[in-house]
């Protein structure tokens, strides 16, 4: 391993392009095998500095150890995990990412590689994770076991699994995360008052307006159904009118 001097963190956030993915591939131990262009652009390292290095080269000291411990446990169980992580760039700046992992296996079930794909985190979620991590970190600096217990207690107290809690903090569903990573638009029916808004897909926070949700569209659908029924009724009446007249004539002529 080459000598590595950990950069001194500075208070400068690198703002990510929400349409771009930061991707890296590691071996089973977390040694970097590949990283995409955007990875290099954001962390400011060159390929030759990263390849063959353990992934903790971009580890930010504001990240509690227990989060990575939990992440590795899940990966070893063959399970994916979503995590929000603060990373350290070469110049000491930081950037927050929402990460999703994928592991590939050979025919005998041995790990071939771990893949991590990362995207920008919505501001509200970033603040929530930042506050949680800073609490854990403070405990961790005193007592690592206590920090771990606090983390599990926090999840337990929510009455949810880590995965559900993660989604709730992000105010996203699994499908929405998937769509976000694929840069797809989620199907949303905007409220009338939002129609004039220029809803920019690249801005996750605008896309995630809580009001633009199924509840409202159901309401609108019901109203639409009622309107259609009324329209059909009116049409049927109109169609029946000449028939009635014909009927009268028919009656008349048959007499
Ligand atoms: C595919 C993959 C991607 C990872 N990405 C990051 C990352 O972006 N930032 C980070 O700090 N650790 C990342 N890790 C975890 C590191 O390998 C490491 O566990 C972590 O930085 C904590 O460092 P430590 O184990 O030396 O305490 C990744 C691991 C894997 C397998």
pLDDT digits (tens, 9 = 90+) for 169-221: 999 999 999 999 998 765 544 444 444 444 444 544 444 444 545 555 677 77
Distance 68 CA to ligand 1 centre (A): 7
Task: Tell me which fold the domain 22-181 belongs to.
Answer: Beta-Lactamase (3.30.450)
CA-nearest residue, atom 19 of ligand 1: 68
Ligand 1 atom with least separation from CA of 54:
17
Q: How confident is the model over 130-166, as pLDDT tens digits? A: 999 999 999 999 999 999 999 999 999 999 999 999 9
Supply the residue whose CA is at minimum distance from atom 29 of ligand 1.
Answer: 30
Tell me, what's the pLDDT at 23?
98
pLDDT of residue 26: 98
Q: DSSP for the chain, please give it.
A: ----PPPPP-S-BPPP-TT--EEEEE-TT-BEEEE-HHHHHHH---HHHHTTSBGGGGB-TTS-HHHHHHHHHHHHTT---EEEEEEE-TTS-EEEEEEEEEEEE-TTS-EEEEEEEEEPPPHHHHHHHHHHHHHHHHHHHH-HHHHHHHHHHHHHHHTS-HHHHHHHHHT--HHHHHHHHTTPPP-----GGGTTS---TT-HHHHT-TTSSHHHHHHHHHHHHHHHHHHHHHHHHHHHHHHHHHHHHHHHHH-
Q: Looking at residue 242, what is its pLDDT?
A: 55
Q: Whose CA is nearest to atom 21 of ligand 1?
A: 56
Location of structure tokens 């920090």: 147
pTM for the predicted model, two decimal places: 0.76
Q: Which residue has the higher pLDDT, 50 or 245?
A: 50
Is 87 near ligand 1, meaning CB less than 6 Å away? yes
Q: Is 191 in the pocket of ligand 1 (CB under 6 A)?
A: no
**pLDDT tens figures, 59-86:** 999 999 999 999 999 999 999 999 999 9
Tokens for 111?
């790990």
pLDDT > 80? residue 248: no
Ligand 1 mean position, distance from CA 52 (Å): 13
């Amino acid at each position: 391993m080459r000598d590595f001097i950990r950069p001194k963190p500075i208070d400068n956030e690198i703002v990510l392009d929400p349409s771009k993915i930061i991707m890296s591939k590691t071996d089973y131990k977390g040694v970097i095998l590949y990283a995409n262009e955007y990875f290099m652009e954001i962390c400011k390292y060159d390929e030759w500095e990263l390849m063959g290095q353990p992934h903790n080269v971009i580890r930010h000291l504001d990240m509690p150890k227990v989060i990575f411990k939990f992440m590795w446990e899940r990966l070893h169980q063959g399970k994916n995990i979503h995590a929000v992580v603060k990373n350290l760039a070469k110049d000491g700046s930081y950037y927050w990412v929402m990460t999703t992992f994928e592991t590939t296996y050979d025919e005998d079930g041995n790990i071939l590689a771990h893949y991590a794909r990362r995207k920008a985190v919505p501001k509200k979620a970033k603040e929530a994770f930042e506050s949680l991590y800073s609490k854990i970190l403070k405990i961790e600096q005193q007592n690592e076991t206590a920090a771990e217990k606090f983390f599990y207690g926090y999840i337990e107290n929510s009455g949810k699994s880590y995965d559900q809690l993660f989604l709730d903090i992000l105010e996203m569903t699994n499908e929405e995360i998937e769509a976000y990573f694929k840069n797809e638009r989620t199907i949303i029916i905007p409220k009338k008052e939002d129609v004039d808004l220029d809803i920019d897909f690249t801005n996750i926070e605008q896309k995630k307006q809580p009001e633009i949700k199924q509840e409202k569209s159901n309401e609108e659908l019901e109203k639409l159904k009622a309107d259609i029924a009324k329209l059909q009724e009116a049409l049927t009446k109109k169609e029946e009118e000449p028939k009635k007249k014909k009927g009268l004539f028919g009656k008349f002529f048959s007499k």
